[in-house]
Structure 1
Amino acid sequence: MIHKEFLPLQEKVEMYFKVDFKTRFNIFANAFMKKYNVPNKYCWCTICKVSTLDEDRFAFIRRYQTTLSSTPYYERIIYDRKGEVIEAQMLDDETKGDLKIAEKCVYQAKGDNVIYETFLYKNPGWKSWIRTKMHSWGVDTMNGLLEKEKEIFRKKKEEVLAAKNKMLAKKEEFTQKNKEELRHKKEELVQSVKALTKFKRRED
Protein backbone atom coordinates (compact mmCIF):
# COMPACT_ATOMS: atom_id res chain seq x y z
CA MET A 1 0.00 0.00 0.00
CA ILE A 2 2.89 2.36 0.73
CA HIS A 3 4.82 1.73 -2.48
CA LYS A 4 1.87 1.10 -4.80
CA GLU A 5 0.91 3.81 -7.27
CA PHE A 6 -2.81 4.56 -7.05
CA LEU A 7 -5.01 6.03 -9.77
CA PRO A 8 -7.81 8.59 -9.34
CA LEU A 9 -11.40 7.35 -9.25
CA GLN A 10 -11.91 9.19 -12.53
CA GLU A 11 -10.07 11.65 -14.75
CA LYS A 12 -12.59 14.41 -14.19
CA VAL A 13 -11.95 16.74 -11.26
CA GLU A 14 -15.25 17.44 -9.50
CA MET A 15 -13.98 20.18 -7.17
CA TYR A 16 -10.78 22.19 -7.06
CA PHE A 17 -9.29 24.50 -4.44
CA LYS A 18 -6.09 26.52 -4.46
CA VAL A 19 -4.44 28.43 -1.62
CA ASP A 20 -1.14 30.30 -1.44
CA PHE A 21 0.55 30.02 1.97
CA LYS A 22 3.03 32.83 2.61
CA THR A 23 5.71 30.74 4.26
CA ARG A 24 8.80 28.74 3.38
CA PHE A 25 8.48 25.03 2.69
CA ASN A 26 10.56 23.83 5.66
CA ILE A 27 8.32 25.68 8.11
CA PHE A 28 5.19 24.48 6.31
CA ALA A 29 6.39 20.85 6.31
CA ASN A 30 7.02 20.94 10.07
CA ALA A 31 3.57 22.38 10.71
CA PHE A 32 1.93 19.88 8.35
CA MET A 33 3.49 16.92 10.14
CA LYS A 34 2.09 18.21 13.44
CA LYS A 35 -1.38 18.85 12.01
CA TYR A 36 -3.11 16.03 13.89
CA ASN A 37 -1.01 16.13 17.05
CA VAL A 38 -3.61 18.40 18.63
CA PRO A 39 -6.64 16.46 19.99
CA ASN A 40 -9.80 16.95 17.94
CA LYS A 41 -13.26 15.93 19.14
CA TYR A 42 -14.48 15.49 15.55
CA CYS A 43 -11.63 13.40 14.17
CA TRP A 44 -9.32 10.67 15.49
CA CYS A 45 -6.11 10.06 13.61
CA THR A 46 -3.48 7.33 13.89
CA ILE A 47 -0.40 6.45 11.84
CA CYS A 48 -0.72 2.97 10.30
CA LYS A 49 2.57 2.55 8.49
CA VAL A 50 5.74 4.44 7.57
CA SER A 51 8.14 3.53 4.79
CA THR A 52 11.11 4.95 2.86
CA LEU A 53 10.43 5.11 -0.89
CA ASP A 54 13.89 6.27 -1.95
CA GLU A 55 16.71 8.47 -0.66
CA ASP A 56 14.60 11.62 -1.02
CA ARG A 57 11.06 10.40 -0.31
CA PHE A 58 9.21 8.71 2.50
CA ALA A 59 5.53 7.87 2.90
CA PHE A 60 3.12 7.07 5.69
CA ILE A 61 -0.54 6.15 6.04
CA ARG A 62 -2.94 8.07 8.24
CA ARG A 63 -6.13 6.39 9.43
CA TYR A 64 -9.05 8.70 10.18
CA GLN A 65 -12.24 8.11 12.10
CA THR A 66 -14.59 11.08 11.98
CA THR A 67 -18.00 11.98 13.33
CA LEU A 68 -19.21 12.41 9.72
CA SER A 69 -18.72 8.75 8.80
CA SER A 70 -19.22 5.36 10.45
CA THR A 71 -16.25 3.85 8.60
CA PRO A 72 -12.62 4.97 8.74
CA TYR A 73 -10.79 6.30 5.73
CA TYR A 74 -7.13 6.37 4.85
CA GLU A 75 -4.72 8.99 3.59
CA ARG A 76 -1.31 8.28 2.10
CA ILE A 77 1.23 11.07 2.60
CA ILE A 78 4.29 11.24 0.36
CA TYR A 79 6.99 13.67 1.41
CA ASP A 80 9.64 14.63 -1.15
CA ARG A 81 12.41 16.69 0.42
CA LYS A 82 14.35 17.18 -2.83
CA GLY A 83 11.36 18.35 -4.86
CA GLU A 84 9.98 20.24 -1.83
CA VAL A 85 6.52 18.81 -2.30
CA ILE A 86 4.04 16.95 -0.09
CA GLU A 87 1.26 14.92 -1.67
CA ALA A 88 -1.69 13.67 0.36
CA GLN A 89 -3.94 11.04 -1.26
CA MET A 90 -7.33 10.22 0.22
CA LEU A 91 -8.02 6.60 -0.70
CA ASP A 92 -11.43 5.15 -1.56
CA ASP A 93 -12.36 1.46 -1.83
CA GLU A 94 -15.77 1.77 -3.48
CA THR A 95 -14.51 0.03 -6.63
CA LYS A 96 -14.73 -3.51 -5.23
CA GLY A 97 -11.73 -3.27 -2.94
CA ASP A 98 -9.44 -1.72 -5.56
CA LEU A 99 -8.19 1.40 -3.80
CA LYS A 100 -8.41 4.61 -5.80
CA ILE A 101 -7.62 8.24 -5.06
CA ALA A 102 -10.83 10.05 -4.17
CA GLU A 103 -9.06 13.28 -3.27
CA LYS A 104 -5.54 14.59 -3.67
CA CYS A 105 -3.83 17.53 -1.98
CA VAL A 106 -0.52 18.83 -3.28
CA TYR A 107 1.67 21.24 -1.31
CA GLN A 108 4.42 22.54 -3.59
CA ALA A 109 7.16 25.04 -2.76
CA LYS A 110 7.21 28.07 -5.03
CA GLY A 111 9.88 30.56 -4.06
CA ASP A 112 9.28 31.54 -0.44
CA ASN A 113 5.65 30.39 -0.60
CA VAL A 114 3.80 27.07 -0.64
CA ILE A 115 1.03 26.47 -3.17
CA TYR A 116 -1.73 24.21 -1.83
CA GLU A 117 -3.97 22.57 -4.43
CA THR A 118 -6.85 20.19 -3.77
CA PHE A 119 -8.35 17.90 -6.42
CA LEU A 120 -11.60 16.04 -5.70
CA TYR A 121 -12.21 13.12 -8.07
CA LYS A 122 -15.32 11.95 -6.23
CA ASN A 123 -18.46 14.01 -6.62
CA PRO A 124 -19.50 15.13 -3.13
CA GLY A 125 -23.08 15.75 -4.29
CA TRP A 126 -25.16 17.65 -1.76
CA LYS A 127 -22.19 17.57 0.62
CA SER A 128 -20.23 19.97 -1.60
CA TRP A 129 -21.02 22.90 0.69
CA ILE A 130 -19.75 20.86 3.66
CA ARG A 131 -16.60 20.01 1.72
CA THR A 132 -16.04 23.69 0.92
CA LYS A 133 -16.52 24.58 4.57
CA MET A 134 -14.16 21.81 5.67
CA HIS A 135 -11.52 23.10 3.26
CA SER A 136 -11.89 26.58 4.73
CA TRP A 137 -11.56 25.17 8.27
CA GLY A 138 -8.49 23.22 7.20
CA VAL A 139 -6.84 26.34 5.80
CA ASP A 140 -7.60 28.26 9.00
CA THR A 141 -6.17 25.42 11.09
CA MET A 142 -3.06 25.30 8.93
CA ASN A 143 -2.55 29.05 9.22
CA GLY A 144 -2.77 28.73 13.00
CA LEU A 145 -0.20 25.92 13.00
CA LEU A 146 2.07 27.96 10.73
CA GLU A 147 2.00 30.91 13.11
CA LYS A 148 2.99 28.61 15.98
CA GLU A 149 5.73 27.04 13.87
CA LYS A 150 7.06 30.46 12.87
CA GLU A 151 7.18 31.44 16.53
CA ILE A 152 9.08 28.24 17.37
CA PHE A 153 11.46 28.93 14.49
CA ARG A 154 11.95 32.54 15.64
CA LYS A 155 12.73 31.46 19.22
CA LYS A 156 15.14 28.77 18.03
CA LYS A 157 16.86 31.32 15.81
CA GLU A 158 17.18 33.71 18.76
CA GLU A 159 18.58 30.91 20.95
CA VAL A 160 21.13 29.95 18.30
CA LEU A 161 22.12 33.59 17.82
CA ALA A 162 22.44 34.11 21.58
CA ALA A 163 24.57 30.96 21.89
CA LYS A 164 26.74 32.13 18.99
CA ASN A 165 27.20 35.58 20.53
CA LYS A 166 28.06 33.99 23.88
CA MET A 167 30.63 31.76 22.21
CA LEU A 168 32.14 34.72 20.36
CA ALA A 169 32.27 36.71 23.60
CA LYS A 170 34.08 33.86 25.35
CA LYS A 171 36.45 33.57 22.42
CA GLU A 172 37.14 37.30 22.56
CA GLU A 173 37.65 37.10 26.32
CA PHE A 174 40.01 34.16 25.90
CA THR A 175 41.91 35.97 23.13
CA GLN A 176 42.17 39.12 25.23
CA LYS A 177 43.38 37.11 28.21
CA ASN A 178 46.02 35.42 26.06
CA LYS A 179 47.12 38.80 24.73
CA GLU A 180 47.50 40.09 28.28
CA GLU A 181 49.48 37.03 29.31
CA LEU A 182 51.72 37.37 26.26
CA ARG A 183 52.24 41.06 27.00
CA HIS A 184 53.23 40.30 30.60
CA LYS A 185 55.60 37.55 29.49
CA LYS A 186 57.13 39.89 26.93
CA GLU A 187 57.62 42.56 29.58
CA GLU A 188 59.17 40.00 31.93
CA LEU A 189 61.47 38.81 29.15
CA VAL A 190 62.52 42.39 28.36
CA GLN A 191 63.23 43.05 32.02
CA SER A 192 65.23 39.83 32.25
CA VAL A 193 67.29 40.78 29.19
CA LYS A 194 67.93 44.26 30.60
CA ALA A 195 68.98 42.81 33.94
CA LEU A 196 71.28 40.31 32.25
CA THR A 197 72.81 43.03 30.06
CA LYS A 198 73.37 45.26 33.10
CA PHE A 199 74.97 42.37 35.00
CA LYS A 200 77.37 41.63 32.12
CA ARG A 201 78.41 45.28 31.92
CA ARG A 202 79.32 45.22 35.60
CA GLU A 203 81.45 42.12 35.08
CA ASP A 204 83.27 43.80 32.21
Structure 2
Amino acid sequence: MRSRLVENEDSFAARRRSKRATWLVETFPDLAQMSIIDLGGRVETWARAVVRPKHVHVVNLEAPPPEIPDWAEVDYGDACALPPTISHRRYDLVFSNSVLEHVGGHERRVRFAESVHLLSDAHWVQTPYRYFPIEPHWIAPGMQFLPVRFRTLVARRWPLAHSPAKTHEAAIQQVLWTELVDRSQMRHYFPQSQIRVERLATLPKSLIAVLGSP
Protein backbone atom coordinates (compact mmCIF):
# COMPACT_ATOMS: atom_id res chain seq x y z
CA MET A 1 0.00 0.00 0.00
CA ARG A 2 2.77 2.47 0.91
CA SER A 3 4.60 1.86 -2.36
CA ARG A 4 1.44 2.63 -4.35
CA LEU A 5 0.89 5.80 -2.35
CA VAL A 6 4.37 7.31 -2.04
CA GLU A 7 7.30 5.21 -3.24
CA ASN A 8 6.79 3.89 -6.77
CA GLU A 9 7.64 6.11 -9.72
CA ASP A 10 3.96 6.17 -10.68
CA SER A 11 2.70 6.59 -7.11
CA PHE A 12 0.44 9.42 -6.02
CA ALA A 13 3.27 11.12 -4.11
CA ALA A 14 5.63 10.79 -7.08
CA ARG A 15 3.09 12.60 -9.25
CA ARG A 16 2.85 15.34 -6.64
CA ARG A 17 6.65 15.65 -6.54
CA SER A 18 6.71 15.89 -10.33
CA LYS A 19 4.12 18.66 -10.24
CA ARG A 20 6.16 20.49 -7.60
CA ALA A 21 9.29 20.12 -9.74
CA THR A 22 7.44 21.70 -12.66
CA TRP A 23 6.41 24.54 -10.38
CA LEU A 24 10.08 25.04 -9.42
CA VAL A 25 11.12 25.30 -13.08
CA GLU A 26 8.31 27.72 -13.83
CA THR A 27 9.38 29.84 -10.85
CA PHE A 28 13.07 29.79 -11.83
CA PRO A 29 13.10 29.48 -15.64
CA ASP A 30 16.93 29.81 -15.70
CA LEU A 31 17.35 26.77 -13.43
CA ALA A 32 19.45 24.88 -15.99
CA GLN A 33 22.07 27.65 -15.87
CA MET A 34 22.07 28.06 -12.10
CA SER A 35 24.42 26.99 -9.33
CA ILE A 36 22.36 25.71 -6.41
CA ILE A 37 22.94 24.31 -2.96
CA ASP A 38 20.54 21.62 -1.78
CA LEU A 39 20.34 21.51 2.02
CA GLY A 40 19.44 18.01 3.14
CA GLY A 41 18.88 16.57 -0.34
CA ARG A 42 20.39 13.84 -2.47
CA VAL A 43 22.25 13.78 -5.78
CA GLU A 44 19.96 11.10 -7.22
CA THR A 45 17.00 13.46 -6.94
CA TRP A 46 18.69 15.86 -9.34
CA ALA A 47 19.89 13.05 -11.60
CA ARG A 48 16.21 12.23 -12.23
CA ALA A 49 15.09 15.85 -12.54
CA VAL A 50 13.44 17.04 -15.73
CA VAL A 51 15.63 20.17 -15.55
CA ARG A 52 18.97 19.84 -13.82
CA PRO A 53 20.91 22.89 -12.64
CA LYS A 54 24.36 23.60 -14.04
CA HIS A 55 25.92 22.75 -10.67
CA VAL A 56 24.40 21.16 -7.57
CA HIS A 57 26.06 21.19 -4.16
CA VAL A 58 24.38 18.76 -1.77
CA VAL A 59 24.91 19.14 1.97
CA ASN A 60 23.55 16.33 4.11
CA LEU A 61 24.17 14.43 7.33
CA GLU A 62 24.21 11.20 5.32
CA ALA A 63 27.39 9.65 4.00
CA PRO A 64 28.16 10.79 0.42
CA PRO A 65 27.34 8.32 -2.37
CA PRO A 66 30.25 6.30 -3.79
CA GLU A 67 30.03 7.99 -7.18
CA ILE A 68 29.34 11.68 -7.72
CA PRO A 69 28.66 13.07 -11.22
CA ASP A 70 30.80 15.90 -12.53
CA TRP A 71 27.92 18.38 -12.26
CA ALA A 72 27.57 17.81 -8.50
CA GLU A 73 29.50 17.97 -5.25
CA VAL A 74 28.50 16.49 -1.91
CA ASP A 75 29.54 17.45 1.60
CA TYR A 76 28.71 15.91 4.93
CA GLY A 77 27.44 18.81 6.98
CA ASP A 78 24.82 20.29 9.27
CA ALA A 79 22.68 22.86 7.47
CA CYS A 80 22.05 24.61 10.80
CA ALA A 81 25.77 25.04 11.49
CA LEU A 82 27.60 25.14 8.19
CA PRO A 83 31.41 25.17 8.19
CA PRO A 84 33.13 28.28 6.78
CA THR A 85 34.14 26.35 3.67
CA ILE A 86 30.44 26.30 2.75
CA SER A 87 28.96 29.32 4.55
CA HIS A 88 31.38 31.70 2.82
CA ARG A 89 30.23 30.62 -0.63
CA ARG A 90 27.37 32.09 -2.65
CA TYR A 91 24.87 30.34 -4.91
CA ASP A 92 22.18 31.33 -7.36
CA LEU A 93 19.58 29.39 -5.38
CA VAL A 94 19.15 27.57 -2.07
CA PHE A 95 16.87 24.56 -2.37
CA SER A 96 15.46 22.40 0.40
CA ASN A 97 12.69 19.83 0.28
CA SER A 98 11.07 18.31 3.37
CA VAL A 99 14.01 19.05 5.67
CA LEU A 100 12.94 21.96 7.86
CA GLU A 101 10.64 19.73 9.91
CA HIS A 102 13.55 17.44 10.84
CA VAL A 103 16.28 19.84 12.00
CA GLY A 104 15.36 19.74 15.69
CA GLY A 105 13.16 22.45 17.18
CA HIS A 106 12.61 26.19 16.88
CA GLU A 107 16.16 27.34 17.63
CA ARG A 108 17.59 24.99 15.01
CA ARG A 109 14.97 26.08 12.47
CA VAL A 110 16.08 29.68 13.04
CA ARG A 111 19.69 28.63 12.33
CA PHE A 112 18.55 26.75 9.23
CA ALA A 113 16.77 29.86 7.92
CA GLU A 114 19.87 31.94 8.65
CA SER A 115 21.91 29.55 6.51
CA VAL A 116 19.38 29.83 3.70
CA HIS A 117 19.53 33.64 3.74
CA LEU A 118 23.32 33.67 4.01
CA LEU A 119 23.98 31.48 0.99
CA SER A 120 21.85 33.19 -1.65
CA ASP A 121 19.38 35.94 -2.41
CA ALA A 122 17.01 33.32 -3.83
CA HIS A 123 15.51 30.23 -2.22
CA TRP A 124 12.88 27.52 -2.47
CA VAL A 125 12.23 25.86 0.91
CA GLN A 126 9.42 23.31 1.10
CA THR A 127 8.03 21.60 4.18
CA PRO A 128 4.82 19.63 4.90
CA TYR A 129 2.01 21.64 6.45
CA ARG A 130 1.26 20.78 10.06
CA TYR A 131 -2.54 20.93 9.73
CA PHE A 132 -2.96 18.69 6.72
CA PRO A 133 -5.01 15.81 8.15
CA ILE A 134 -2.55 13.06 7.13
CA GLU A 135 0.90 13.00 8.71
CA PRO A 136 3.08 12.55 5.58
CA HIS A 137 6.01 10.58 7.00
CA TRP A 138 3.92 7.78 8.43
CA ILE A 139 0.82 8.35 6.27
CA ALA A 140 -1.16 8.24 9.49
CA PRO A 141 -4.32 10.35 9.98
CA GLY A 142 -3.86 12.98 12.69
CA MET A 143 -0.67 11.44 14.07
CA GLN A 144 1.04 14.83 14.46
CA PHE A 145 -1.60 15.93 16.98
CA LEU A 146 -1.15 12.98 19.35
CA PRO A 147 0.93 13.03 22.53
CA VAL A 148 4.49 11.77 22.10
CA ARG A 149 3.64 8.47 23.80
CA PHE A 150 0.98 7.63 21.22
CA ARG A 151 3.02 8.94 18.28
CA THR A 152 5.76 6.58 19.41
CA LEU A 153 3.31 3.67 19.37
CA VAL A 154 2.25 4.62 15.85
CA ALA A 155 5.89 4.86 14.74
CA ARG A 156 6.42 1.27 15.89
CA ARG A 157 3.22 -0.33 14.67
CA TRP A 158 1.64 1.66 11.85
CA PRO A 159 1.84 -0.53 8.72
CA LEU A 160 2.33 2.37 6.27
CA ALA A 161 5.50 3.69 7.94
CA HIS A 162 8.55 3.95 5.67
CA SER A 163 10.72 1.97 8.07
CA PRO A 164 8.85 0.94 11.23
CA ALA A 165 11.01 1.36 14.33
CA LYS A 166 11.97 -1.92 15.96
CA THR A 167 12.51 -0.50 19.45
CA HIS A 168 10.88 2.10 21.64
CA GLU A 169 14.06 4.19 21.63
CA ALA A 170 14.25 4.20 17.84
CA ALA A 171 10.57 5.12 17.58
CA ILE A 172 10.77 8.03 19.99
CA GLN A 173 13.86 9.32 18.16
CA GLN A 174 11.91 9.32 14.89
CA VAL A 175 8.98 11.09 16.53
CA LEU A 176 10.98 13.76 18.34
CA TRP A 177 12.98 14.59 15.21
CA THR A 178 9.82 15.18 13.17
CA GLU A 179 8.03 18.43 13.96
CA LEU A 180 5.71 19.84 11.32
CA VAL A 181 5.28 23.63 11.08
CA ASP A 182 2.43 25.97 10.15
CA ARG A 183 2.18 29.15 8.09
CA SER A 184 2.86 31.53 10.98
CA GLN A 185 6.13 29.74 11.68
CA MET A 186 7.17 29.78 8.02
CA ARG A 187 6.47 33.53 7.83
CA HIS A 188 8.58 34.00 10.95
CA TYR A 189 11.54 32.06 9.56
CA PHE A 190 11.25 33.57 6.07
CA PRO A 191 9.72 37.05 6.56
CA GLN A 192 10.70 38.41 3.13
CA SER A 193 9.54 35.35 1.22
CA GLN A 194 6.33 34.53 -0.56
CA ILE A 195 4.75 31.59 1.26
CA ARG A 196 3.16 29.43 -1.41
CA VAL A 197 0.67 26.73 -0.52
CA GLU A 198 0.57 23.36 -2.24
CA ARG A 199 -2.97 22.00 -1.98
CA LEU A 200 -4.64 18.63 -2.22
CA ALA A 201 -8.42 18.60 -2.63
CA THR A 202 -8.41 22.29 -1.63
CA LEU A 203 -6.59 21.49 1.66
CA PRO A 204 -3.12 22.96 2.28
CA LYS A 205 -0.67 20.07 2.03
CA SER A 206 2.73 21.74 2.09
CA LEU A 207 4.27 25.19 2.36
CA ILE A 208 7.01 26.65 0.18
CA ALA A 209 9.01 29.76 1.05
CA VAL A 210 10.06 31.36 -2.23
CA LEU A 211 12.31 34.35 -2.75
CA GLY A 212 14.09 35.72 -5.80
CA SER A 213 11.83 34.52 -8.59
CA PRO A 214 11.41 36.84 -11.61
TM-score tier, shorter chain, comes to: under 0.3
Greater share of strand: 1
Looking at both structures, which has the greater relative contact order when contacts are Cα pairs under 8 Å and sequence separation is at least 6? 1
Greater share of helix: 1
* TM-score for the superposition, normalised by structure 2: 0.24
Of structures 1 and 2, the larger Rg is shown by 1
* TM-score for the superposition, normalised by structure 1: 0.25
